[in-house]
Amino acid sequence: MLLKHLREEVLEANLELVKRGLVLYTFGNASGVDREQGLVVIKPCGVDYDELKPEHMVVTDLMGVIVDGDLRPSSDLDTHTLLYREFPTIGAVVHTHSEFATSFAQAGLSIPAFGTTHADYFYGPIPVTPPLTDEAIGGRYVHETGLAIVARFRELNLDPLAVPACLVNGHAPFAWGRDAHDAAHNAVVLEAVANMAYRTMLLRPGAEGVSQALLDRHYFRKHGPKATYGQ
Amino acid sequence: MLLKHLREEVLEANLELVKRGLVLYTFGNASGVDREQGLVVIKPCGVDYDELKPEHMVVTDLMGVIVDGDLRPSSDLDTHTLLYREFPTIGAVVHTHSEFATSFAQAGLSIPAFGTTHADYFYGPIPVTPPLTDEAIGGRYVHETGLAIVARFRELNLDPLAVPACLVNGHAPFAWGRDAHDAAHNAVVLEAVANMAYRTMLLRPGAEGVSQALLDRHYFRKHGPKATYGQ
Amino acid sequence: MLLKHLREEVLEANLELVKRGLVLYTFGNASGVDREQGLVVIKPCGVDYDELKPEHMVVTDLMGVIVDGDLRPSSDLDTHTLLYREFPTIGAVVHTHSEFATSFAQAGLSIPAFGTTHADYFYGPIPVTPPLTDEAIGGRYVHETGLAIVARFRELNLDPLAVPACLVNGHAPFAWGRDAHDAAHNAVVLEAVANMAYRTMLLRPGAEGVSQALLDRHYFRKHGPKATYGQ
Amino acid sequence: MLLKHLREEVLEANLELVKRGLVLYTFGNASGVDREQGLVVIKPCGVDYDELKPEHMVVTDLMGVIVDGDLRPSSDLDTHTLLYREFPTIGAVVHTHSEFATSFAQAGLSIPAFGTTHADYFYGPIPVTPPLTDEAIGGRYVHETGLAIVARFRELNLDPLAVPACLVNGHAPFAWGRDAHDAAHNAVVLEAVANMAYRTMLLRPGAEGVSQALLDRHYFRKHGPKATYGQ
């Protein structure tokens, strides 16, 4: 079986989203990329998670052309492949409609960095795209969703691995990471961070985020050449 | 046993509501209709879900006259049968007191279409009826509840399959669908959508719903002759 | 064993509170009364629910004098016995610190009857006592807690079986019923009703409760000589 | 194995935090101190809870110098050891990023004593530190976190065993107790109390806390020489 290991990782990432309560029915998908072969492994569309097996995964090239698989790929495929093409350091993409992150996306609000939980994973606010134009929605919509994420990151001059998630306005979050495990982990933490940001904002309207010093301290404790966290 | 398959489907829909946390004790009911025979299968009233079996289901005609069954039917029977008579395209009805959808019903507010999760299932806001008049409450109350739903849909010129749910003011939601599985699924998604609409409104009072273009794009991706979602 | 059946019922009511998520650690207690013998069966104080057995229950008379049992009774005993003496129609009392009902008690707010879920169980708002005076707190505090509940019900001219719960200001809810099963059931529904009232009030500050007609319709559908609900 | 019993207690406290939903992935840690030997047992950093065993615990002296253990200790070690040095009556420390307590920390708000649930465990509001200065963050950050807690307790003249928790501004809560079981228990109750305080504040902005009389009554019912609670 082509890309057996990557299929297993992508399946496991999909199941992690279910286990953590981020996915209702089939509202989510994860994919991973093999950079050497230029191939993407993605969940098929609308299949129950209970029945998902590695052989159900769909393999496409970086333009989304199916290379292997009998099932139709996730309907969000074109967003995934665009992110792989534009963000060359990422190895996996995850999309969910998780409750709190989606509520921020629906409100058109980015998630401020209110605390160290956030700073441990996201080096600054998690951005939200502007609403898509009617033209973009009426055109290559799924592709345009990816373009909106990339444009927002370029505009804010963000490193996708330093802020491994983006909210799509009126839609829901996308998260990513170095590999499928990392991307799913980031999506789970994103939801926890969104939950606490929501409560922080209701407790104290106008609350400000953490200082740059605290953001730096926590982020670089876990990331970069001077990281000290873990074993 | 009369309508064995439909009884099983209706039972399964009732259990799906419990499994998804939409029902506390016996606060919910599901029914299905056999259009050819003009018969309705509905959950009995006030029986524990743990003990429900297909043979406990009550069979009535479309006017609610019992045709088969030893138990009393759900106290909401007259709302179900009225919906079957007035909405000829639906095949099943579900009623719950699920937490977030009921809170909107209690507040007398419709649920705006704030995002694509909503648009994937409901083609526009989920309406709420006006409060029932004292006369309606004092008269054929359960029947009047159905009338209020139908009147609201007529007033808004809504297709019941395009917006497969309605909130009853001061009461709780009804949802429906092509069959029992579909109706229960819609009730579960309704609750998720209500949850996120609630949080969206608290995060951003005055938030506006998605554009008509986005509503169209997502709704027609999953519904109608040009649907592309699923296998 | 004295009052074997009542001990089992009271134990089961205590466990129902845990099962439904109303009780953290040992923050709750249930009791039942045998009106013929004038004896009360109550949970012992501070014992883990996992280890509770019928023989651990403490038996007292209506003045709270221990008649049988090696363990110390729940610290709220004096509230329970006072309620039995003053509300002669009730057969069981339950106390929890459940999340939403306790939040209303802490806010010093009664729970308005916003919908039919409420009206099916509680014939009007669930009242809250005024704060206890420093004298009452410094005196026979637990007894005074019961007095405050009774005084509030007298003041509002409420039938304890028609409104089977009260919030104690700055403290938490007490619920009751015809028997232990009924009292625990009411405590569980109280929490669900408080949850939805909370969300209703946040969605629509100033929201009004249901009409008297709807309150009547739903309450008397399930209670009184003309009740039609259930089998 | 050195300090076998304490290792087991500390492990059990860590697992209690997971069981009660206070910890996502590895976002938390617990430690205990052996006052006679002057040794601290703490969870290793970034190890999955599923795999934690007593022999994985790290033993340090009160200055944080590792005495036994192959794994790197929790990254918050210096806060734990500072609290042991400055609060000589405490026997264990717990740190989590639990949802509601962390939201108060992020909002920079102390948790008012709104009810008896709070008063049973915490003799007054649960304080929040001021934000750390950039110098403190850039210096011995973890040590400075402990200093901020201690300074806040000195400033408010609080007994650490009477108020066994503190929120660190922009970060998350620390809780403690006489032993590891007690500290974990306090962290769990802290989260329940924060949950209800959050809802109390949303229901009634400007709500006031309980009276001193009620705070005294409940706190001293469970603590101090005149305690009457439990068996």
Catalytic residue annotation of B: 120, 229
The per-residue pLDDT for D179 is 98
The per-residue pLDDT for B26 is 87
d(CA D54, CA D58): 9
Average pLDDT of chain C, as a whole number:
96
Strand blocks (E) in B35-159? 39-42, 58-61, 66-68, 92-96
Q: Could you tell me where the DSSP H helices lie in B20-140?
A: 77-86, 99-107, 116-119, 134-138
Of the listed ranges A222-226, D52-56, D153-157, the least confidently predicted one is A222-226
- Is the pLDDT at D2 greater than 90? The verdict is no
Interchain CB contact of B35 with A (< 8 Å): no
> Band of the pLDDT at D225, cuts 50, 70, 90?
confident
Percent of chain D scoring above 90 in pLDDT: 90
- Is the pLDDT at A226 greater than 80? The verdict is no
The per-residue pLDDT for A160 is 98
Per-residue pLDDT of chain B (231 residues; tens, 9 = 90+): 889 999 999 999 999 999 999 999 989 999 999 999 999 999 999 888 889 999 999 999 999 999 999 999 999 999 999 999 999 999 999 999 999 999 999 999 999 999 999 999 999 999 999 999 999 999 999 999 999 999 999 999 999 999 999 999 999 999 999 999 999 999 999 999 999 999 999 999 999 999 999 999 999 988 877 777 677
Cα first-last separation, chain A = 34
Mark yes or no for CB contact A106/B200 under 8 Å: yes
d(CA D45, CA D58): 9
For an interface test with B, give the residue of C99, C189, C200, C201 to mutate (most B CBs within 10 A).
Answer: C200
> Band of the pLDDT at A68, cuts 50, 70, 90?
very high
For an interface test with A, give the residue of D103, D110, D199 to mutate (most A CBs within 10 A).
Answer: D103
All residues of chain B having their beta carbon less than 8 Å from the beta carbon of residue A97 are: 116-117, 192, 196
d(CA C3, CA D12): 38
Interchain CB contact of A189 with D (< 8 Å): yes
Which of A75, A97, A103 lies nearest to residue B229, judging by beta carbons?
A75
Locate the chain C residue with the closest alpha carbon to D192: C99
- Is the pLDDT at D228 greater than 80? The verdict is no
C13, C132, C172 from C140: Cα distances, Å: 27, 11, 18
Which residues is B213 bridged to in the sheet? none
Q: What is the mean pLDDT of residues C170-180?
A: 98
User: Tens of pLDDT along A77-103?
Assistant: 999 999 999 999 999 999 999 999 999
Which of D195, D199, D210 lies nearest to residue C170, judging by beta carbons?
D210
DSSP for D170-184 reads TS-EEEEESSHHHHH
d(CA C18, CA C12): 10
If one compares B104 and D224, the residue with the highest pLDDT of the two is B104
How big is the A-D interface in CB pairs under 8 Å?
Answer: 84
> For residue B204, which amino acid is it?
R
- Listed by number, the residues of chain C in 114-173 with a beta carbon closer than 8 Å to a beta carbon of chain D are 131-132, 134, 137-138, 141, 170-172
Interchain CB contact of B218 with C (< 8 Å): no
The per-residue pLDDT for B47 is 86
User: Tens of pLDDT along D145-174?
Assistant: 999 999 999 999 999 999 999 999 999 999
A180, A201, B190, D48 from A17: Cα distances, Å: 11, 26, 21, 18
- Is the pLDDT at D226 greater than 80? The verdict is no
All residues of chain D having their beta carbon less than 8 Å from the beta carbon of residue C72 are: 230-231
Average pLDDT of chain A, as a whole number:
96
Active-site residue among C25, C49, C120, C216?
C120
Catalytic residue annotation of A: 120, 229
CATH of C4-222, one of 3.40.640.10, 3.30.360.10, 3.10.180.10, 3.40.225.10: 3.40.225.10
DSSP state of B72: P
A109, A226, D48, D145, D176 from D171: Cα distances, Å: 22, 21, 22, 10, 17
Q: Give the predicted TM-score (pTM) of the model.
A: 0.97
Q: What is the mean pLDDT of residues C92-117?
A: 98
Locate the chain C residue with the closest alpha carbon to B167: C115
d(CA B134, CA B170): 13
d(CA A83, CA A96): 16
All residues of chain A having their beta carbon less than 8 Å from the beta carbon of residue D47 are: 231
Q: Could you tell me where the DSSP H helices lie in C64-179?
A: 77-86, 99-107, 116-119, 134-138, 141-155
Locate the chain A residue with the closest alpha carbon to D76: A229
Interchain CB contact of D199 with C (< 8 Å): yes
- Listed by number, the residues of chain C in 36-65 with a beta carbon closer than 8 Å to a beta carbon of chain B are none
Interchain CB contact of B196 with C (< 8 Å): no
As given in the structure block, the two tokens for residue D71 are 């794994």
Q: Backbone phi, then psi, for D46, in 5-degree steps?
A: 70, 20
Which of D115, D210, D231 lies nearest to residue C46, judging by beta carbons?
D231
The per-residue pLDDT for D48 is 87
Which of C141, C172, C202 lies nearest to residue D117, judging by beta carbons?
C172
Identify whether the C-beta of residue A80 lies closer than 8 Å to the C-beta of residue A102.
no
d(CA D152, CA C168): 33
What is the residue extent of each domain of chain C? Answer: 4-222
Strand blocks (E) in A35-161? 39-42, 58-61, 66-68, 92-96
Which residues is B73 bridged to in the sheet? B44
d(CA A210, CA A220): 15
> Band of the pLDDT at D90, cuts 50, 70, 90?
very high
